[in-house]
Structure 1
Amino acid sequence: MTNEEMQSTIQFILEQQAQVSTNLQKLEVNVAGIAESVVKLEASVAIIGDKVDRLAESHESLQRFVGALAVAQANTEVNLTRTDKNLNALILMVEKYLSGRQNGQS
């Protein structure tokens, strides 16, 4: 290998080393940016996790409320049926009373 070829090879190796160093620096910057993004994502995931927990609690509370409301509605329907029967009986009594008075007056 001649001196010129040796110098050329050394120059090539130095250029490659410089390129590798430059690429490594770029990668380090990219990794730092990614690390920062990961930290932000972790914070966001924690916030979302808290919101999901609160939403689940709200959902359970709403289910209990709707269940209680369904029971109350069923009780209301029973009471309304009883009231309808009582009202119909009262109407029938009043009609008989009025009918008897009219027949008695005629």
Structure 2
Amino acid sequence: MATFGTSADADLLVAYLDRYLPCPDLDYDQTAALGALLLLDAKVGTDRAARFLAPYGLWQQWAGGPPGTDRDDPDEYREFIGLLCAFADETARHWRARARS
């Protein structure tokens, strides 16, 4: 979804986080979803992730840390998703070039 970068993709990530962040016992892909949403926010100039990261917000509740605790840095997830997107983009370019030759 971060690679496609549409508003609909961001809506899906927000819905996912709304559903699963309130459930701290369900550890699925919350970190990847937040990282992708942060990346989309940076790409399109929105701030949809802010409400999840607010003090006492759903991210802090899910992560189990009090506000201000740097237990997990959400920017690390954004950077990781960015690396995955760059890899996917480069791989797609490689295979398109190879298909043309």
Q: Tell me the TM-score normalized by structure 1.
A: 0.31
Q: Tell me the TM-score normalized by structure 2.
A: 0.33
Q: Select the structure with the greater relative contact order (CA < 8 A; seq sep ≥ 6).
A: 2
State which structure, 1 or 2, has the greater radius of gyration over its C-alpha atoms: 1
Which structure is higher in helix share?
1
